[in-house]
Amino acid sequence: MHVLGIDPGFATVGYGVLDVAVGAAIQVKDYGVITTPAHTNMERRLVTLYTDLTELLHQWQPDLIVLEKFFFYRMSNTIPVAQARGVILLCLGQHGAAYVEFSPPQVKQTLTGYGKATKQQVQEAVQRELALTTLPRPDDAADALALALTGYLVQRSYVAPA
């Protein structure tokens, strides 16, 4: 099963892909960022985001997509981030991809046991759980891996009612 985590943004969108199989260790297949060039008009930046995310969806064909819930952003970038998030949702919808959302405190609680953990503590939990030799970088990609890991752990622990 491939799990794709997405940390929405306007200038930078983090992504992380995990491969999970019953009885096997979780493997990191890919992680990084989609960047939209500064000093480019908004429309071009949104097209870049759409094109690159479409490519990721085709490449990995995720079984589970985990998206950061729009939680809190500074006023100066709220509208561009919301527009980028709309493009992400459009892309997911066009590809028939279902997704789940988690807020940052939910990710922190799941990975560290404390909903107000620091970014460093979350990154260390991701490094430990995914057996990475170094902390994942950049921060947006690390956040996306944290989202993917959270989504997997939560769905794995969910037991459907009889």
Catalytic residues: 7, 68, 140
Going by C-beta distance under 8 Å and a sequence separation of 6 or more, which residues neighbour residue 71? 103, 104, 105
Per-residue CA distances from 63 to 21, 37, 98, 135, 150 (Å): 12, 30, 8, 25, 14
Q: CA 52 to CA 7: how far, in whole Å?
A: 14
Q: How far is CA 130 from the centre of its chain?
A: 15
**4: which strand partners?**
17, 65
In three-state secondary structure terms, 142 is helix
Per-residue CA distances from 60 to 18, 65, 77, 123 (Å): 10, 11, 30, 23
Specify the amino acid at residue 158.
Y
